[in-house]
Structure 1
Amino acid sequence: MALDFVAGCLGGVAGVLVGHPFDTVKVRLQVQNPEKIIYRGTFHCFQSIIKQESVFGLYKGIGSPMMGLTFINAIVFGVQGNTMRALGQDTPLNQFLAGAAAGAIQCVICCPMELAKTKMQLQGTGEYKSKSKLYRNSPDCLIKIYHKEGIRGVNRGMLATLLRETPAFGFYFLTYDILTRSLGCEPEDNYIIPKLLFAGGMSGITSWLSTYPFDVIKSRIQADGRGGVHKYNGMVDCVRQSYRKEGWRVFTRGLTSTLLRAFPVNAATFASVTLFLMYMRAGEENLEECKAGPTIQ
């Protein structure tokens, strides 16, 4: 239904505005050189960015997710809603399958968008601070990558993105469905908004915890190639090198900022989507009643 897509767009805008600063911190922590540590942790990274680049530094690269995530959320909620209707029964398994299908399909847009976002977030920072800026904005970034590396370059990190998004969105929608049912989220409930915010926030946390190591690998692959030097030959090589140099903890790097971001972002996203759908569907029901005319007793 069209309503699912519109609701997804609104949820995407709300999520980006709330969560992009946390994402900037996460990416910088994930890809910083272990031999030249710049940020000691999540809060130090926040402080350093604001001190050195002002608060606007936290919003570097927001153009790509603002354009992409609104559309991605439209696809995610649209595909999930239509898949659920196609599957017929509203069961936990079908919630997971519908979410996984939505997660896999949106990777076509998500991967290039996150590539541009990562390049923009890292541009002019750390060991590359002295280098001139290569990209004016996110579209310019993707265009230049395409001209240099072709479609393969624009889709760098696609396998890691698929392995992250497919199961993660399955757990995302499954968790939200279980929590909203157990909390009794009904339109007439006076406490529906805090309940939806809690359910959405916890869904986001569960989703990220389920596949976070793949996100670290994706970020490293997409950040690779700065200065024209590529360190990784692929996802497996990235895993091998990262583990050999930094141990297993490397696959949890940036997790704190990610979880801090996940709760408010997904609380805002799911609450916006659910409330919009409730409002619009209630309006449709009222319209149908008006068209039907008065009931004769």
Structure 2
Amino acid sequence: METPIISQQPAPNVFHDYIAGALGGTSGLIVGHPFDTTKIQLQTQHKGHGYRGTNDALRQIHTKHGWTKGFLRGLAWPMLSYGVVNSIFFGVYGSSLRVFQRLLGNEGSKPSYLCIYMSGCVAGAAQLGLACPVDLIKVILQSQIGNETKNSGLQAQNRRYFTTPYQCARDVVKQHGIRGLYKGLVIMSYRDVPSYGLYCLTFEYLEHVMHKYSLTDKNGITANLFAGGMAGTVCWLSIMPLDVVKSRVQADLDNVYKGLIDCAKKTVREEGVRALYKGTLITCIRAFPVNAATFLVYSQSLKYLKSR
């Protein structure tokens, strides 16, 4: 577990990681939001209501709501915030690599598997402070897109319908205080901290292998795209049950669930274990291009900033 696996040192200027992270995160968001909306719609439907599968969800959202009020609903909020979230993630990731290298006495050498995984975990924890409120508002807005059934699933419970992120955030704070914006923080921690370690580790390993066996172009673009796409796919596959529970807890405005364990129990009891994997197909379809774009822009931006 100690073999150095990445082809470049952490950025010498800490701000480079933050800038490149913001650019990469924004690029990935634009690519993936329509898929993410479909995922949330699938995950927040109860048994006997809503969509018959991924294709049916895509068709109904497009036919009944189109792009602006359907697939792109809730995009404005993450557009303003996810650049910052990813800036924090990649910035802390780069800083953590330098700190762990120094603590392990390997300063100046290439990071090890252990350093990469630990740095990813630290970065995953660091972004939660902003990511949780952003995700909560996004999930609520996306879950409130109607479909062909009347008052189906969680939509029947969520009688308060929001038209803007600001309206949603204001209502949450009015009802529950600032603490309400952090609903789902615990399960997001369980989801994000270890998975982001896996995310970074998978990317750096695959990129290293592709460079080692000359499976990429001279600028490393092919390696960035493939390694980034696979890292995102592997990461999401590892956390789907947690993500389904998180989405349901956050979309539940009337406290149907007493907590994440209660939500998981009720979901399995009413819909079976398969319900914990709702949205897996669309998530994987989304994960590859989103994370390919994110890591491509992040890596190439970082390379450019280092050369200046």
Partner of 1:223: 251
Give the total of aligned pairs: 278
Whether 1:52 and 2:64 are equivalent positions in the alignment is: yes
State which structure, 1 or 2, has the greater radius of gyration over its C-alpha atoms.
1
Q: Quote the sequence identity (%).
A: 37
Instruction: Say whether 1:94 aligns with 2:77.
Output: no
Selected match of 2:306 from 265, 278, 281: 281
1:163 corresponds to which of 174, 190, 199: 190
User: Within 5 Å, which residues of 2 pair with 1:31-70?
Assistant: 31-36=44-49, 38-56=50-68, 57-70=70-83
Q: State the alpha-carbon separation in 1 of the partners of residues 249 and 73 from structure 2.
A: 19
Distance 2:22 2:268 in 1: 38
Distance of 1:215 and 1:26 partners within structure 2: 10
Q: Does 1:195 align with 2:208?
A: no
Deviation (angstroms), 1:248: 1.0
Q: Deviations over 1:176-203 (max 9, x none)?
A: 11011111189x9436212210000000
Residues 1:145 and 2:172 aligned together:
yes
When the two chains are superposed, the root-mean-square deviation of aligned CA atoms in Å is 1.9
Aligned counterparts of 2:91 and 2:145: Cα–Cα separation in 1: 37
Which residues of 2 match residues 257-296 of structure 1 at below 5 A? 257-283=282-308
1:81 aligns with 2:94: yes
Q: Deviations over 1:145-173 (max 9, x none)?
A: 01111123111111111111001100010
CA contact (8 A) 1:167 1:211 kept: no
Instruction: Name the amino acid aligned to 2:51.
Output: Y
Contact 2:24–2:298 (CA under 8 A) maintained in structure 1: yes
Does structure 2 conserve the Cα–Cα contact (< 8 Å) formed by 1:123 and 1:133? no
The residue number in structure 1 matching 2:131 is: 110
Shift of 1:215: 0.6
Question: Unpaired runs of 5+ in structure 1?
Answer: 284-297
Please give the TM-score of this superposition, normalised by the length of structure 1.
0.89
- TM-score, with length taken from structure 2: 0.86
Question: Aligned-pair distance for 1:267?
Answer: 0.2
Query: What are the ranges of 5 or more consecutive residues in structure 2 without an aligned counterpart?
Result: 1-13
If each structure's helix is expressed as a fraction of its own residues, which one has the higher value? 1
Task: Output aligned runs, 1:111-130, within 5 Å.
Answer: 111-126=132-147, 127=151, 128=155
